[in-house]
Structure 1
Amino acid sequence: MHFEISVDIDATPETVWNILKDVEHWPDMTASITSVEILDKPLALSSRSRVLQPKLRPAIWTVTAFDENRTFTWETRAPGVTTTAAHDIVTKPDGTVSVLLTLDQKGPLAPLVSLFMGNMSRRYVTMEANGLKTKAEAS
């Protein structure tokens, strides 16, 4: 499964980045996240976080790419499926930003996981994008 959503945000890249990298406060901006605990602080390449989401098992996400003020990608593994989530900030000419959130699931069980949980996964990523926009524009 592959899903992506882009959202334009009327805020500075720094504002958006500070909210995006503050994963432990994501539950304040979206109902799709119950809690996040960074296990290896600070959030950086190779750091791990425990993420709890409604209707899902707790997951350990590991940061696999990190470029300060621009992007981070993390992934979690379960038997038969690897889920990767990317968070990319693109600065527009007017100084505002566009954020691209991407979710990919691969592995032998990915088609089955997508069949049963694809709609919920897409809804959760959309909630996160909209929550990020709302929080950043209110800052």
Structure 2
Amino acid sequence: MRFEAGTQVAAGAEQVWAVLVDVEGWPQWTPSVRRAARREPGPLAVGATALLEQPRLRPAVWRVTELTRGLSFTWESRSAGVRTVGEHRVLPLPDGHSRFELALTQSGPLAGPVGWLYGDLLRRYLRMEADGLRRRCERG
């Protein structure tokens, strides 16, 4: 199952990227994340992990699997029967603004039932994250 959200942001890609990779700051701009804790110091990099606590979901550890500095990162989390991949992209636009896109893809033997049970919640959370990041970046 795949869930997606995106938004245009009236801010430059560098600014959007800086807010996005400050994972521990996410609870300040999206109500979909109650707590975020990086497990290693330093900039976000391949192999880095973070613990996310979200309302109505079990805490999950996410590991960065791909990162193109300034443009995108992908991370994954695994739980019993489900592998979830989260993609985050910041696309610079010709007018100096940006487009932010994010997606969750779930696979594994329990992905169907989990998607059916939590699909609406996941869609809502992705929308909250896209809109929250936009508001945070646009207010400076």
Q: TM-score, normalised by structure 1?
A: 0.98
Distance in 2, Cα, partners of 1:10 & 1:119: 28
Distance in 2, Cα, partners of 1:111 & 1:74: 20
Residue identity in the other structure for 2:115:
S
- Name the SS of the counterpart of 2:120 in structure 1: helix
Give RMSD over aligned pairs: 0.7
Query: Is 1:8 the equivalent of 2:8?
Result: yes
What's the counterpart of residue 48 of structure 1?
A: 49
Residue identity in the other structure for 1:73:
T
- Name the SS of the counterpart of 1:93 in structure 2: coil
- Name the SS of the counterpart of 1:69 in structure 2: coil
Deviation at 1:103, TM superposition (A): 0.8
> Within 5 Å, which residues of 2 pair with 1:56-75?
56-75=57-76
- Name the SS of the counterpart of 2:66 in structure 1: strand
Deviation at 1:88, TM superposition (A): 0.4
Residue identity in the other structure for 1:100:
E
Distance in 2, Cα, partners of 1:51 & 1:5: 19
User: Sequence identity, in percent?
Assistant: 40
Q: Give deviations 1:108-135, integer Å, cap 9, x for gaps.
A: 1000001111100110011000000000
Residue identity in the other structure for 2:19:
I
What's the counterpart of residue 133 of structure 2?
A: 132
What's the counterpart of residue 118 of structure 1?
A: 119
Distance in 2, Cα, partners of 1:83 & 1:126: 17
Unaligned runs of 5+ in 2: none
Deviation at 1:6, TM superposition (A): 1.6
Distance in 2, Cα, partners of 1:18 & 1:36: 16
Unaligned runs of 5+ in 1: none
What's the counterpart of residue 107 of structure 1?
A: 108
Deviation at 1:67, TM superposition (A): 1.1
Deviation at 1:41, TM superposition (A): 2.3
Q: Give deviations 1:72-131, integer Å, cap 9, x for gaps.
A: 111100011001111001111111100111111011100000111110011001100000
What's the counterpart of residue 34 of structure 1?
A: 34
How many residue pairs get matched? 139
Query: Is 1:96 the equivalent of 2:97?
Result: yes
